[in-house]
């Protein structure tokens, strides 16, 4: 019988070490335990990782989404007061930095160095959902892709964890982290196993494997294929499998029980058919049978061009909406361009928005411009006259990182009554601050929705402030993620404002929360002088998403 784990005194010793009150005897005994017991080493390192994360980032676990609305009256509070109540901002524990006593710091450091020198690798088992650590591939391209609705639908550019992809129709390219590129054509089912292996249980695929991905493996019910520096195709049916080598060579092995179920090589221009338990039958490779997969890139470019035109047509419809006061579509962007014309209803009265800093990049489509916000000076300046009873803000963004405690999307310059501040917090929470009369304000915070696995992916964000119904709703990709009641109503005035940064009027220059520049790319910004409905926000997202939904399958 193996001894029970953890051994007696283990929990107390770890707690004493992490809290800084371990005795010399505890440290000495614990050091000896780490040297002789691998399980103790693994458990100790896991707990130290957990403790250090909690100590250095106490707002790692966001505040309860059930109490996101704050209200104060009187003078406008400091930024630390405003946002600190939505999640701790301190970087210390009990008012002091976390530090281990020197007399056993060295001993434990020596233990850890010894463990690392021995090749120990550990991970933090309690990592936040959506951090991308388990991902093995990403969805790189898709053309008219219709996925099985029973599964989680993958997003373009999204990291993919081990699991099943069921493509009912269309084309999709999966790029594995080892560099291999696999194109599947629906109907097909591909099981992601690791960064260097997959299982195809049905359908047709091609694989391009660069030298650094040599050894990439695709298994199926009838054959297992291992790359030896090549490009190959597979057709997997119920009773039959075909392997075609287009470049280089592969090693393949028929399924167990088949005649000749041993490793065999197949070189460029050759193929093999595997049926039942019969020995493989050699054939010539047939690139024409995989023509649609080879055409992925050209078909993707054509689909993007069509989608871009569809978005432009939708824009013309939206621009006829008299409540669309500001619409910055970035269509006139490019090197040296620093003025953004407004195509919304306030065009005659609103001067062009001014670009400060920023860089022009490729947007949602290869031929469409977008603005990258990277430096602390990058921003768009605009001025909004008048007041309104309700407001809808919406934008297409590609978040690169949440570098600041507060990352600005759209913010009025100061804290005058009726002004708005729309932000993303560093923990992925969407926030809208509404300033009321006499310094009162409310903060409406969503649950954490901008997770790490969404970074680098085009995402549609929107917030609706309905002053008459006294309601605020946050949206991500057309779907409401939180709804909140307001305690005070209109009018709202936006005045001078910034997109992607903030001009903090009325605050001292040494306030640590003044730096809140957005890190990412923005492709479109809309401001409506009314509250859009759920259906309208969904339509705004559907009209603008990079790839349209594939046509519905024909009904029998």
Confidence of residue 10 (pLDDT cuts 50, 70, 90): confident
- Average confidence (pLDDT) over 384-392: 87
- Average confidence (pLDDT) over 321-340: 87
Cα separation values, 156 from 141, 450, 456, Å: 7, 16, 10
Least-confidence region, from 103-107, 286-290, 292-296:
103-107
Q: Does the pLDDT at position 233 exceed 70?
A: yes
- Average confidence (pLDDT) over 486-490: 83
- Average confidence (pLDDT) over 406-420: 87
**Of 343-352, 415-424, 520-529, highest mean pLDDT:** 520-529
Least-confidence region, from 16-20, 125-129, 348-352, 364-368:
125-129
**Of 38-52, 220-234, 490-504, highest mean pLDDT:** 220-234
User: For the stretch 78-88, what's the b/e string if a residue is b when 16 or more beta carbons lie within 10 angstroms of its beta carbon?
Assistant: ebeebbbebbe
Least-confidence region, from 67-71, 231-235, 334-338, 448-452:
67-71
Confidence of residue 104 (pLDDT cuts 50, 70, 90): very low
Give the DSSP H/E element, type plus range, for residue 301. Answer: helix 296-319
Four-residue CA torsion sign, 50, 51, 55, 56: negative
Q: Does the pLDDT at position 61 exceed 50?
A: no
- Rounded to a whole number of angstroms, the distance between the first and last alpha carbons of the chain is 64
pLDDT at position 413: 84
Largest CA distance in the chain: 85
Q: Which residues pair with 444 in a beta bridge?
A: 432
Residue pLDDT, tens place only, 86-98: 333 323 333 333 3
Q: Where are the domains of the chain?
A: 137-294, 309-544
Residue pLDDT, tens place only, 159-211: 899 999 999 999 999 999 999 999 999 999 999 999 999 999 999 999 999 99
pLDDT at position 18: 66
Residue pLDDT, tens place only, 331-376: 887 777 888 888 887 777 778 889 998 999 999 998 999 999 988 8
- Average confidence (pLDDT) over 403-420: 87
pLDDT at position 118: 36
Neighbouring CB atoms inside 10 A of 57's CB total: 14
- Rounded distance between C-alpha atoms, residue 339 and residue 489, angstroms: 34
Confidence of residue 555 (pLDDT cuts 50, 70, 90): low
Q: Are 410 and 420 spatial neighbours (Cβ–Cβ below 8 Å)?
A: yes
Confidence of residue 5 (pLDDT cuts 50, 70, 90): low
Q: Which residues pair with 315 in a beta bridge?
A: none
Least-confidence region, from 69-78, 131-140, 337-346, 462-471:
69-78
Confidence of residue 64 (pLDDT cuts 50, 70, 90): very low
Q: Does the pLDDT at position 70 exceed 50?
A: no
- Average confidence (pLDDT) over 415-431: 91
Q: Does the pLDDT at position 529 exceed 50?
A: yes
pLDDT at position 132: 62
User: Would you state the structure tokens that stand for residue 528, as one six-digit string?
Assistant: 């409506």
Confidence of residue 155 (pLDDT cuts 50, 70, 90): confident
Neighbouring CB atoms inside 10 A of 240's CB total: 12
Say which CATH architecture domain 309-544 belongs to.
Answer: Sandwich (2.60)
Q: Are the folds of 137-294 and 309-544 the same?
A: yes
- Rounded distance between C-alpha atoms, residue 413 and residue 420, angstroms: 9
Least-confidence region, from 115-119, 443-447, 449-453:
115-119
- Average confidence (pLDDT) over 521-535: 95
Q: Tokens 């929705």 sit at which residue? A: 449
Neighbouring CB atoms inside 10 A of 171's CB total: 22
pTM score, whole prediction: 0.70
- Rounded distance between C-alpha atoms, residue 160 and residue 200, angstroms: 16
Q: Does the pLDDT at position 3 exceed 70?
A: no
Average pLDDT over the chain, rounded to an integer: 79
- Average confidence (pLDDT) over 9-31: 74
- The percentage of residues in the chain with a pLDDT greater than 70, rounded to a whole number, is 76
Confidence of residue 294 (pLDDT cuts 50, 70, 90): confident
Confidence of residue 105 (pLDDT cuts 50, 70, 90): very low
Q: Does the pLDDT at position 329 exceed 60?
A: yes
**Of 47-51, 212-216, 332-336, highest mean pLDDT:** 212-216
Confidence of residue 315 (pLDDT cuts 50, 70, 90): very high
Domain 137-294 CATH assignment equals 2.60.120.1440: yes
Higher-scoring residue by pLDDT: 272, 59: 272
- Rounded distance between C-alpha atoms, residue 187 and residue 160, angstroms: 19
Higher-scoring residue by pLDDT: 38, 139: 139
Cα separation values, 262 from 228, 255, 275, Å: 16, 9, 15
Taking alpha carbons only, the member of 72, 62, 109, 9 closest to residue 430 is 62
């Amino acid at each position: 019988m193996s001894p029970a784990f953890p051994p007696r005194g283990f929990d107390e010793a770890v707690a004493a070490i992490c809290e800084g009150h371990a005795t010399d005897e505890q440290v000495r005994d614990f050091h000896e335990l780490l040297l002789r017991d691998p399980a103790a080493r693994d458990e100790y390192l896991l707990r130290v990782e957990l403790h250090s994360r909690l100590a250095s980032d106490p707002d790692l676990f966001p505040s309860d989404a059930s109490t996101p609305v704050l209200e104060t009256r009187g003078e406008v509070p400091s930024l630390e007061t405003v946002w600190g109540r939505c999640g701790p901002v301190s970087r210390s524990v009990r008012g002091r930095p976390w530090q281990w006593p020197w007399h056993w710091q060295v001993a434990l450091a020596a233990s850890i160095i010894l463990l690392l020198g021995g090749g120990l690798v550990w991970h933090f088992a309690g990592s936040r959902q959506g951090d991308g650590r388990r991902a093995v591939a990403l969805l790189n391209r898709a053309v008219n892709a219709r996925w099985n609705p029973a599964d989680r639908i993958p997003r373009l550019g999204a990291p993919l964890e081990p699991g099943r992809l069921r493509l009912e129709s269309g084309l999709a390219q999966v790029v594995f982290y080892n560099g291999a590129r696999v194109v599947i054509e629906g109907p097909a089912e591909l099981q992601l196993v690791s960064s260097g292996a997959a299982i195809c249980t049905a359908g047709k695929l091609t694989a391009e494997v660069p030298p650094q991905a040599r050894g990439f493996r695709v298994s199926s019910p009838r054959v297992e294929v291992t790359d030896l520096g090549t490009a190959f195709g597979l057709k997997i049916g119920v009773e039959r499998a075909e392997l075609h080598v287009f470049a280089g060579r592969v090693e393949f092995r028929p399924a167990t029980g088949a005649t000749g179920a041993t490793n065999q090589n197949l070189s460029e221009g050759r193929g093999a058919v595997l049926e039942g338990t019969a020995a493989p039958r050699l054939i010539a490779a047939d690139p024409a049978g995989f023509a649609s997969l080879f055409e992925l890139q050209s078909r993707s470019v054509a689909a993007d061009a069509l989608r871009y035109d569809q978005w432009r047509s939708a824009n013309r419809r939206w621009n006829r909406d008299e409540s669309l006061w500001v619409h910055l579509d970035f269509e006139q962007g490019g090197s040296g361009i620093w003025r953004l014309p407004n195509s919304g209803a306030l065009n005659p009265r609103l001067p062009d928005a001014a670009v400060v800093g920023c860089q022009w990049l490729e947007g949602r489509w290869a031929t469409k411009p977008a603005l990258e916000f990277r430096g602390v000076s990058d921003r768009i300046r605009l001025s909004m006259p008048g007041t309104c009873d309700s407001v809808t803000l919406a934008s297409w963004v590609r978040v690169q990182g949440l570098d600041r405690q507060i990352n600005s999307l759209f913010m009025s310059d100061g804290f005058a009554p009726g002004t708005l501040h729309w932000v993303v917090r560093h923990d992925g929470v969407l926030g809208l601050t509404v300033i009321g009369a006499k310094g009162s304000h409310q903060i409406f915070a969503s649950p954490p929705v901008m997770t790490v696995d969404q970074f680098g992916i085009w995402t549609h964000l929107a917030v609706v402030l309905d002053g008459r119904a006294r309601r605020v709703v946050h949206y991500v990709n057309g779907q409401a993620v939180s709804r909140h009641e307001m305690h005070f109503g209109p009018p709202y005035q936006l005045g001078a404002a910034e997109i992607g940064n903030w001009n903090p009027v009325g605050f001292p220059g040494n306030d640590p929360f003044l730096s809140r520049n957005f890190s990412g790319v923005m492709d479109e910004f809309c401001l409506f002088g009314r509250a859009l409905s759920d259906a309208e926000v969904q339509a705004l997202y559907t009209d603008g998403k990079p790839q349209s939904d594939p046509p519905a399958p024909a009904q029998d």
